[in-house]
């Protein structure tokens, strides 16, 4: 569970392994992290057996209440390891009864706890990145590219370049035309002095005259951090897919991971808070440039807000994939996926599965991934990636409670846009309340806003009915009281769906400056 919206005073605080007597029975407190970093379970002994009050550790059927609360890191599975360890600790007590916070009591829970751990281990094998990361990732980024006269710039084919180096994973691919004009895909994670020096050397050694265009592959800031610098210093135009624009230009309005302001990049002495674009591209739009024809397609995967640039370069069909897939196609262990992060807006059916099917249809000769990866002859690699995407979806289906796993996976099926709102005392502003229906039937909802002191709304409770497979958007107003004190307030969204109360799964933020 998320922290409470309002502080709750405590009469006593427990630490792990605290034990005390309660009406002649032993009550023991054990740390059972996983669904939250601060979770505890309480073991009550009676008649030589234990009853376990386990919160959201595990529900009936060896299921997880929500996945997104166990997403502790960026795809490295810390939450999975903690859940599995906690389940093993409770299993050791062989509880006669488990009493979770949600769902029915569980009789003789040890068997289900063991099954829960098996599911978590199976999930972990699929979940952790499908290539070598923090181990052998720098050893063989590709066997295709060759060094050039410009340090750390490598040539993939006569017209195609990228950067590469030890512990050096910038995002930058460049198509260099015969006339000396450049077409860049991504530009991020550079020291700008190094980038400028490299461009100067490319002009001297390779005949580069101008970088005409830079297109970021997705909304993550590390793929367009140096976009404003390219535009100001080198006259480069910045283009993007239409559906990526809001997240790149106004990332503060959303609660997604890896937005540009998370990188602390400065531009002209001020933090970059968003990037504007000179041209917005539609899904499927073609670009004729310097004798090349490129097509820009929506290609989700790691995030919903992503694209692929594809075209024929030096006789090969090339697809620029960003962070959706990379690894070594020759290594049968590699399934190619990057981090699986729900907070990227990455529902499998709307992300990696669609991206994998797209690549399978295109059947490219060469993939240009993010962070310096080149993948030659990738057909078998793409098929492993495609199979993995369905296996990953099925693993979450088997682990998350409910009739549709997406309600426990997606942290955005109820959300407010903008996520962050500033209100002066006495001021009101509109927000959009968004509710999704993943089911194949109509869905009824009741959303109550848990408004802290100093805030009010014209619709503190929103009720409605949504057709299957659709999204409902409703405008409501939030107002700060004339005497509202300065500070940041969290507004909880208390959700009831088809008569079942889920509680305050989600929130949004209001700042009174």
Q: Determine the Cα–Cα distance for residues 30 and 68; give it in Å rounded to an integer.
A: 23
| Higher pLDDT among residues 504 and 35, named by residue | 504
Of the ranges 35-44, 136-145, 468-477, the best mean pLDDT one: 468-477
Mean pLDDT score, 457-486: 97
The CA dihedral of 276, 277, 283, 286, to the nearest 10 degrees, is -170
3-state SS track over 398-450: HHECCCCCHHHHCCCCEEEECCEEECCCCCEEEEEEEEECCCCCCEEEEEEEE
pTM of the entire structure?
0.93
- Min mean pLDDT across 135-139, 150-154, 392-396, 492-496 is at 135-139
- Please report the DSSP string for 147-172 in residue order: E-SSTTEEEEETTEEEE-BTTB--EE
3-state secondary structure of 300: coil
CA distances from 206 to 148, 149, 163, 184, 230 (A): 9, 8, 14, 15, 18
User: How would residue 21 be classed by pLDDT, with cut points 50, 70 and 90?
Assistant: low
Tokens describing residue 362: 């295109």
| Higher pLDDT among residues 25 and 474, named by residue | 474
Q: Which residues contact 124 (CB under 8 A, 6 or more apart)?
A: 77, 80, 81, 84
Of the ranges 26-40, 120-134, 282-296, the best mean pLDDT one: 282-296
> What is the per-residue pLDDT across 166-177, written as a single tens digit (0 to 9) for each?
888 999 999 999
Mean pLDDT score, 214-231: 96
Q: Determine the Cα–Cα distance for residues 120 and 211; give it in Å rounded to an integer.
A: 47
Mean pLDDT score, 55-77: 95
- Please report the DSSP string for 378-397 in residue order: -HHHHHHHHHHHHHHHHHHH
Q: Determine the Cα–Cα distance for residues 58 and 16; give it in Å rounded to an integer.
A: 19
What is the rounded average pLDDT for all residues in the chain?
Answer: 93
For the chain, list the domains and their CATH numbers. Answer: 19-127 (3.60.15.10), 146-397 (3.60.15.10), 413-512 (2.60.40.10)
Q: Determine the Cα–Cα distance for residues 40 and 44; give it in Å rounded to an integer.
A: 13
Share of the chain above pLDDT 90, in %: 84
> What is the per-residue pLDDT across 314-331, written as a single tens digit (0 to 9) for each?
999 999 999 999 999 999
Mean pLDDT score, 28-38: 83
């Amino acid at each position: 569970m998320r922290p409470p919206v309002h502080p709750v005073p405590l009469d006593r605080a427990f630490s792990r392994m605290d034990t005390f007597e309660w009406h002649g029975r032993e009550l023991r407190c054990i740390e059972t992290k996983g669904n939250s970093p601060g979770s505890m379970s309480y073991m009550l002994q009676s008649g030589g057996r234990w009853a376990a009050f386990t919160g959201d550790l595990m529900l009936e059927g060896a299921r997880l209440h929500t996945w997104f609360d166990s997403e502790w890191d960026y795809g490295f599975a810390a939450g999975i390891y903690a859940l599995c360890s906690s389940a093993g600790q409770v299993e050791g007590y062989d509880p006669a009864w488990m009493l979770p916070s949600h769902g029915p009591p569980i009789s003789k829970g040890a068997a289900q706890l063991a099954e829960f751990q098996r599911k978590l281990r199976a999930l972990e094998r699929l979940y952790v990145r499908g290539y070598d990361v923090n181990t052998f990732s720098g050893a063989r980024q590709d066997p295709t590219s060759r060094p050039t006269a410009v340090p750390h710039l490598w040539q993939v084919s006569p017209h195609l370049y990228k950067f590469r180096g030890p512990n050096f994973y910038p995002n930058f691919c460049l198509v260099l035309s015969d006339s000396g004009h450049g077409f860049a895909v991504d530009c991020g994670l550079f020291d700008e002095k190094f980038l400028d020096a490299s461009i100067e050397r490319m002009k001297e050694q390779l005949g580069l005259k101008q970088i005409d265009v830079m297109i970021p592959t997705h909304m993550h800031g590390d793929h367009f951090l140096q976009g404003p610098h390219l535009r100001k210093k080198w006259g480069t135009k910045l283009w993007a897919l239409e559906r990526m624009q809001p997240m790149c230009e106004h990332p503060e309005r959303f609660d997604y991971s890896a937005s540009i302001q998370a990188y602390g990049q400065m531009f002209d002495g001020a933090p970059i808070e968003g990037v504007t674009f000179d041209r917005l591209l539609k899904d499927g739009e073609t670009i004729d440039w310097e004798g090349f024809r490129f097509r820009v397609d929506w290609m989700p995967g790691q995030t919903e807000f992503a694209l692929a640039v594809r075209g024929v370069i030096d006789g090969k069909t090339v697809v620029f994939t960003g962070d959706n897939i990379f690894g070594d196609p020759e290594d049968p262990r590699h399934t190619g996926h990057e981090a699986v992060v729900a907070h990227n807006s990455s529902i499998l059916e709307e992300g990696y599965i669609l991206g994998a099917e797209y690549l399978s249809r295109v059947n490219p000769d060469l993939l240009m991934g993010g962070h310096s990866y080149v993948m030659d002859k990738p057909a078998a690699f793409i098929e492993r990636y495609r199979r993995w995407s369905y296996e990953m979806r099925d693993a979450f289906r088997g682990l998350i409670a409910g009739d549709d796993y997406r309600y426990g996976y997606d942290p955005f099926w109820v959300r407010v846009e903008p996520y962050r709102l500033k209100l002066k005392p006495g001021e009101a502003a509109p927000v959009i309340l968004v509710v999704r229906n993943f089911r194949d039937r109509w869905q009824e909802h009741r959303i109550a806003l848990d408004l802290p002191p100093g805030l009010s709304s014209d619709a503190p409770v929103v009720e409605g009915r949504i057709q299957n497979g659709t999204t409902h958007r409703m405008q409501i107003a939030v107002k700060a009281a004339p005497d509202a004190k300065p500070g940041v307030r969290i507004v909880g969204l208390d959700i009831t769906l088809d008569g079942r109360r889920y509680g305050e799964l989600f929130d949004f933020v209001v700042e009174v400056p």
